Structure 1
Amino acid sequence: MPAFSHGGVRKDVSMFSVAQFCTMELQAKDQFDAWRSLHKDTIELFPTGERSAGFAAAFSSWTLGELVLTRVVYSGAPGRQWRHHPKSYLDHWCVVLARAVAADGSARGELSFRSLALPYEGQAQDSEVITLYLPRDQRPVDEQRLDGAHGVEVSPDFAPLLSDYMDGLVRHLPHVTPEHAANLEMPTRALIAACITPLSTYQEPARSALGAALIDRARAVVRQNMAAPDFGPERLVRLLAMSRSKLYRLFENSGGVAHFINRERLREAHLRLSSQREMLSIHAIGNEVGFVDHSTFSRAFRREFGYSPTEARERGIVRSFADEREGLGQG
């Protein structure tokens, strides 16, 4: 159990006991390290800004028998990167309801399901995160089904029901005794299983088709904007009107979002270099797919295809010449 000292008073806090902790009780320069220490058993945290600027966040947790509900409220805290702790001893599932405030002041929520035993990482600047932690119940069939839903947003058919339930727990658990709260464990488990299991058991084909459709949309947006050297994941998120975490999950098994964008740039360049009708220079083509520096373009091209842009153009010329000779022979 991590402990923090402030004003000579030690405050013990744990992710898995009824507790409260607020970083605003600490000096600004110590706030992020204290917050990271609080979560050290489940996730690794990395700041995206200066630690000296402070990290204002408040944590509360309640137990429901063996289940744990936590709520985190961020007060202007900077963005952060995080990942599941690779050596965590906490082999739990968790349902995560994350809310972020949009530019127009509206709150947008996203509900997802994860296993702490499996790799997962992301970036966030949420204003509120409510999490339900469920220890594994040692039933192989249930474990396989629930692990199959790892990292996936909860189905729209069930997300409102589960979100409202988690919000209700946050409102009412502070006024419920631990003994009475323990009576909620089995109904809560049953509700989560009912909302999560159908997604992993019956909707895999639909999820795969949806993922393919989203990738096609992302590819079209990248191709429309690849001439801009500063086009990257942040702008792709905005143009797709998709949450950052959902976009990153979509490409986490294929090298990431930035790699996808870079690969699309290079594939377009390869297509144009191989075309007999393309009259622009190699340097100009590199510029038109977003590479300002010619040497950077050449190195990236060789890493992707195993040969240089010049060789790609030469191969295209040879192939076009061979096709023309074959056409003449058939005529």
Structure 2
Amino acid sequence: MILFERELGGLLHLRSPGRVRHDGFDHITLHLLLSGDLTGGPFGAGHRLQAGEIMVVDTRRPHWTRVTRARLITVQLAREVVEASISDLESVHGLVLPGSAAGLLADFIVSLVRRADDLPGVAVERAAATAAELLGLGLSVATAAPLARLLSTEASQPLRRTRAEAYIDAHLADPNLDSAAVAAGIGASRSSLYAVFADEGGIARFIQRRRLERLRAALRRPHDGRTVAALAHAHGFDDESRFNRAFRAAFGIPPGQYRTAMRQAREDRSGGGPPDAVLVRWTSELY
């Protein structure tokens, strides 16, 4: 699976029959439009995408794309991975999943982009299979198969969890983010969210832990010059004292001291020092 987010402008891409024969590419490509203007499809046809829609392209067949200015995420999936979930790939080339059918897949793709740097190889392989399954589900929804018939309540929970996590990641800076906001944002009930986040101690606890993890990662970045207070605000904490207490409870050290320890560990690359210093240094070098 190849995954990348990009911004394009003033682009006309023509994948002619000759080019198809020449390069031998054999993938199923998904274009998720985040914003802007993108039009494309098979030769002789075309569709202007709306934000949130996904275009499906078979690279073994000719197609064209015109971008005035757009921000999009492109996913390339191996044909055999997609064939495991969708038996008839001949009919998918140039299809566009509207937002109502693309939602689960779009949320999953956005979440993958945010987590790509932390995924081990085996997780990437499983993520590709999941993306193919969600594509199949989206195609079924787009052809009017009722979602309730496609997913049992139990089977839908992992997908609901994926959508909820993607929504949370996209709105961490909002201090008003809570279970009601997430439920409304993904079209789920609050009780269903409580069920899928029960192992986390509830959705509120999950949101706080996610904020703390993201903020801790920001404190490790050597070139992020924002103050601790500014970082706390940027990650949805509207009370600095409450944030300081939460950070210390989670990681055993105040945020300012943690940032200082990371900075000192980077500056000292001798590899010596007491065990605690070596551990801090090793942790800092991971980022």
Whether TM-score is above 0.5 comes out as no
TM-score by length of 1: 0.34
TM-score by length of 2: 0.39
> Which structure is richer in relative contact order (CA contacts within 8 A, separation 6 or more)?
2
Which structure has greater helix proportion? 2
Greater CA radius of gyration, 1 or 2? 1
